[in-house]
């Protein structure tokens, strides 16, 4: 499963950015966060 994610990561991130996915994971797992403390995202580097 994890291998498939890595293998398809480039096409996956054409649909959703890494930032969006990261925030979704935090939210889905009810992890509180403040966006000002999230690290800088380099979404355009893929």
Give the model's pLDDT for residue 32.
94
DSSP string covering 1-46: -HHHHHHTHHHHHHHS-HHHHHHHHHHHTT----GGGSPPP-GGG-
Give the model's pLDDT for residue 7.
79
Q: Has residue 20 been placed in a domain?
A: yes
Domain total of the chain: 1
Give the model's pLDDT for residue 16.
80
What range defines the domain where residue 16 resides? 2-34
Q: Has residue 26 been placed in a domain?
A: yes
2-46 per-position pLDDT tens digit:
677 777 767 766 788 778 888 999 999 999 998 888 877 665 554
Give the model's pLDDT for residue 29.
96
Q: Has residue 41 been placed in a domain?
A: no
Q: Has residue 22 been placed in a domain?
A: yes
């Amino acid at each position: 499963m994890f291998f498939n994610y890595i293998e398809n990561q480039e096409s996956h991130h054409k649909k959703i950015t890494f930032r969006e996915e990261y925030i979704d994971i935090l939210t889905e797992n009810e992890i509180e966060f403040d966006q000002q403390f999230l690290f800088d995202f380099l979404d355009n580097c893929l």
